[in-house]
Chain A
Amino acid sequence: MADFNVNVRGVGSVSVIDVKGYLDAHTAPQLENAFNQLIDGSKYKVVVNFNDLSYISSAGLGVFMAYVETMRENKGDIKFSNMQDGVYNIFDLLGFPMLYEFYKNENEAIEKFKESISK
């Protein structure tokens, strides 16, 4: 079956999560683990890079909803980048763009975090 992969890397004070493959109810716990580890490490500034994600189900969307509050309460955020059109449409239909920031590429998102620090 379709695979799913999570990889977390640090870019300065920002953590980038690379997601790859199918994100659904069965693979969502992997992403949850990644978020839990970031929170354990007090890393609240997160960019999720969707470059290699081909599918997301409602359970996948739920993961971001579950963690965004914690991040924002700690002066952080979850920002999305590099999303393919198909995946973006799903986010868009649900109204995510009204609550989350979406960027064409990862660096823009990281820059945005830096701006907010310098302010």
Chain B
Amino acid sequence: MNLFSPNIAKSRKLEYSIGFSILLFIFKILFSSSDSFLYHFANEFIVFFTLYFWLLYLIDFVHTKLSSPLQLVLNVGILAALFFFFVAMSTIIFDLKTFTPHQNFITSIFSLIISFICFIAAAYIFSSFRELFFLRQKRDPKTYFNTMIVFFVFLFFSNLLIKIDQEFDYPKNAFYIVALILISINSLRVAWIAFLTKRQKIYLLILSVVLGILFGFNFSFSLDENILTKILVDLSPGFHSVLSLMMIYGTIYFGVIFFTTLFHLPTAEAFDRKAEEVTSFRDLTKLVTQVLDFKELANTITQVTTKVCNSDSAWLVVIDKEEYDLVSINNIGYVEADELSLKILESLNDETESLITLNRDMTEVSLKNDLRKFNFSWIVIAPLKIHEKQKGFLFAARQKDFPFDDDDKKAIEAFSDYASVAMENAMLIEESIEKERLEKELDVAREVQYKILPSETPKYKNVDISAMFIPAFEVGGDYYDFFELDDDQLGVVMADVSGKGISAAFIMAEVKGVFKSLSSVIFDPHDLLVKVNAILSESLDSKNFVTAIYGVLNLKSGKFNFVRCGHTPLILISEGRAERFTPMGMGLGLDNSEKFSDTLKQMEIQLKNNDILTLYTDGIPESQNAHLEDFGYERFENILIENSYLSTDEISNKVMANLTTFSKDNMQNDDITLLIMKWISNNKIVGEN
């Protein structure tokens, strides 16, 4: 059963209420007074429905407009005062003995206007009572309230019985008493008081005294013989008795509110604080996930710490590179907080695993020199921890000699935990930004590297060439290139720049530039590399160097003239045997004196049919497997020997396949470059041996 939510649109409710009001008005004007039962019957029904629809409309209105229960109580108070005012004024203006509502036309209209005002006021008061009744109720107490309303309705119509027979008044009295009992029970639903702040409670306490008395007076007036009573009884005896009941309701209800509020007052402060704590925690949780700036969050944390824990000041210190860094202050000077925390933390000697409380003596001891400045009696220090590592401290300080209780300490600890989480978040974000930056840098380096390397290998009748390059995640500085010096001479270079990433890529670009421009001018490998070394030594950082092999292959004679500058040995596969050539030569950039030129030895190899020359970077022999064993030279050479009858592309693939299998459990951390040249002097097709 739901009396107050029939399926009527909100605008309709107002229309119905106004419609019935007009009906009532016309009815009252037309049949000013009659004693017939039919008149009374019709009258009571029209009044009832007018009241009902006004109630429907106002319940909605009150419900949607509800800003705070206090506002509602205040409105009720104003309306109660209005009743009081009417009674008082009408007694002054009119003579009680001679006044009847139907004295003349003016009194009739006046009575009706007063009646309507009372009508709407009563409906509003009732709606407010209903709203307050349901406010903050955990279980649905609808039944009690609806039963009460049913008895209100019974009482309303029981007046008709009296019209039939004057003696027939005991049902009315019975309903009156039952309604009274229900009112008393329902008045106890005042849970919403608990959720008011202390200030609001004090306000409510005063308000409830005034209202209780006001309703009490109104009730006694309703029993008295006075002009308002006369008007209302004339309007509808049922409405009058219900109104009188509501005045009792008000008296009891505000009486209950007064005492409840009175008893709630001592705990109001604690309740306020708890509520504040809950709100702060909720806000902080939201902030921690939304705000990425640690400093901003730190400010919020010190603010709520001061507020919630009843401290005078709060500040937050983080440990950055083993130094204390004051991040946020609240109600304390920066210099003071900095000095104070430093002194305290020093005096604690790293015994800061858990929450620490310092009383006056201890703070005095640690602040011997500067006692006036920091007049704190109590200081609580909560450590910030990330993965069991101390990352900072949250300080809360109180000036009055009034220790922090357990609740305060728990709250401070919780806030320091929030700070830790926020700090970790900030750190993680910083890390990910840095990582992203590095990855972008690596992308650039990789792109540079690909652009520097030749896009295709040259093709000749006498020599089959294959080049393969596999960059590491962290781009290294591998480089190879071919230079057609003239019709018969092919320059070949392989170089490895020390270092990784974008800096290696830049050096590599320079190396390419130097080789490209000088190789066409200086044909002799020894002289060329001495010049290259001189140029690179100028531009390279003292800790960077480049290893290289540079050789010139005579495409007619099959003579290969080369120098090695610190690079991995050249491997020659000839007649099923491997030979490593390691002529003397320092890495480029190691030394820029005569020594480089003097020690650099040039070497000449005469290639025979099907001989294979292999140039590579240290990424191949130094590739490691899960047991951290090197791929090494022997494995490498054996693969070359076993597959020497294949084309150079196929040999390359074999090497890479073996290398990948070998090092599959270990990340490739250096570039891998492999350059294979096979000499075919009798012009047979590759692969036919």
CA distance A6 to B590 in the complex (A): 24
B527-586 at interface with A (beta carbon < 8 Å)? 541-545, 547, 565-569, 582, 584-586
Q: How far is the CB of A85 from chain B (nearest CB, A)?
A: 13
The number of residues on chain B lying at the interface, defined by a beta carbon within 8 Å of a beta carbon of chain A, is: 26
Q: How far is the CB of A60 from chain B (nearest CB, A)?
A: 10
Contact of B586 (CB < 8 Å), options: A25, A63, A95: A95
Assuming the contacts A25-B499, A95-B586, A98-B599, asked whether A62 and B591 have C-beta atoms less than 8 A apart, the reply is no
Contact of A95 (CB < 8 Å), options: B542, B590, B628: B590
Which applies to chain B's interface (DSSP): helix, strand, loop or mixed?
loop
Q: C-beta contact mask, A66-83 vs B, less than 8 Å → 1, else 0?
A: 100100000000000000
Assuming the contacts A95-B587, A95-B590, A99-B591, asked whether A65 and B567 have C-beta atoms less than 8 A apart, the reply is no
Contact of A94 (CB < 8 Å), options: B500, B541, B569, B590: B590
Instruction: Judge whether B197 is part of the interface by a CB distance below 8 angstroms.
Output: no
Instruction: Judge whether A36 is part of the interface by a CB distance below 8 angstroms.
Output: no
Instruction: Judge whether B595 is part of the interface by a CB distance below 8 angstroms.
Output: yes
CA distance A75 to B81 in the complex (A): 105
Q: C-beta contact mask, B335-370 vs A, less than 8 Å → 1, else 0?
A: 000000000000000000000000000000000000
Assuming the contacts A93-B566, A94-B566, A95-B584, asked whether A66 and B590 have C-beta atoms less than 8 A apart, the reply is no
Residues of A with C-beta under 8 A to B499: 25, 58-59, 62
Residues of B with C-beta under 8 A to A59: 498-499, 543
Residues of B with C-beta under 8 A to A98: 584, 586, 591, 595, 599
Q: How far is the CB of B492 from chain A (nearest CB, A)?
A: 19
The closest CB in chain A to the CB of B477 belongs to A58
Contact, CB under 8 Å: B566 / A62: no
Assuming the contacts A59-B499, A62-B499, asked whether A93 and B543 have C-beta atoms less than 8 A apart, the reply is no
The closest CB in chain A to the CB of B567 belongs to A93
Q: How far is the CB of A53 from chain B (nearest CB, A)?
A: 14
The closest CB in chain B to the CB of A99 belongs to B591
CA distance A94 to B546 in the complex (A): 9
Assuming the contacts A66-B542, A93-B566, A94-B566, asked whether A58 and B586 have C-beta atoms less than 8 A apart, the reply is no
The closest CB in chain A to the CB of B670 belongs to A57
Contact, CB under 8 Å: A99 / B498: no
B364-410 at interface with A (beta carbon < 8 Å)? none
Contact of B545 (CB < 8 Å), options: A2, A69, A94: A94
CA distance A84 to B586 in the complex (A): 20
Q: How far is the CB of B537 from chain A (nearest CB, A)?
A: 11
CA distance A73 to B493 in the complex (A): 35
Contact, CB under 8 Å: A58 / B599: no
Residues of A with C-beta under 8 A to B586: 94-96, 98-99
Q: C-beta contact mask, B253-294 vs A, less than 8 Å → 1, else 0?
A: 000000000000000000000000000000000000000000
Contact, CB under 8 Å: B544 / A62: yes
Contact, CB under 8 Å: A93 / B545: no
Assuming the contacts A58-B545, A94-B545, A95-B584, asked whether A65 and B500 have C-beta atoms less than 8 A apart, the reply is no
Instruction: Judge whether A61 is part of the interface by a CB distance below 8 angstroms.
Output: yes
CA distance A25 to B476 in the complex (A): 12
Q: How far is the CB of A56 from chain B (nearest CB, A)?
A: 11
The closest CB in chain B to the CB of A95 belongs to B586
Residues of B with C-beta under 8 A to A93: 547, 566-569, 582
The closest CB in chain A to the CB of B564 belongs to A93
Q: How far is the CB of B633 from chain A (nearest CB, A)?
A: 10
Q: Which of A59, A96, A99 has the most CB of B within 10 A?
A: A99
Q: C-beta contact mask, A91-106 vs B, less than 8 Å → 1, else 0?
A: 0011110110000000
Contact, CB under 8 Å: B599 / A63: no
Q: Which of B545, B567, B590, B628 has the most CB of A within 10 A?
A: B590
CA distance A98 to B599 in the complex (A): 8
Q: How far is the CB of A65 from chain B (nearest CB, A)?
A: 5
Contact, CB under 8 Å: A62 / B543: yes
CA distance A62 to B499 in the complex (A): 9
Q: Which of B544, B582, B584, B595 has the most CB of A within 10 A?
A: B544
Assuming the contacts A61-B545, A62-B545, asked whether A99 and B566 have C-beta atoms less than 8 A apart, the reply is no
Contact, CB under 8 Å: A99 / B590: yes
Would you mind naming 19 contact pairs between A and B with Cβ atoms under 8 Å apart?
A: A25-B499, A25-B500, A58-B498, A59-B543, A61-B545, A62-B499, A62-B544, A62-B545, A65-B542, A93-B566, A93-B568, A93-B582, A94-B545, A95-B565, A95-B587, A95-B599, A96-B586, A98-B591, A99-B591
Chain A residues packing against B (C-beta within 8 Å): 2, 25, 58-59, 61-63, 65-66, 69, 93-96, 98-99
Chain B residues packing against A (C-beta within 8 Å): 496, 498-500, 541-545, 547, 565-569, 582, 584-587, 589-591, 595, 599, 628
* Closest 7 pairs (CB-CB, A-B): A95-B586, A62-B543, A58-B498, A66-B543, A94-B566, A94-B587, A66-B542
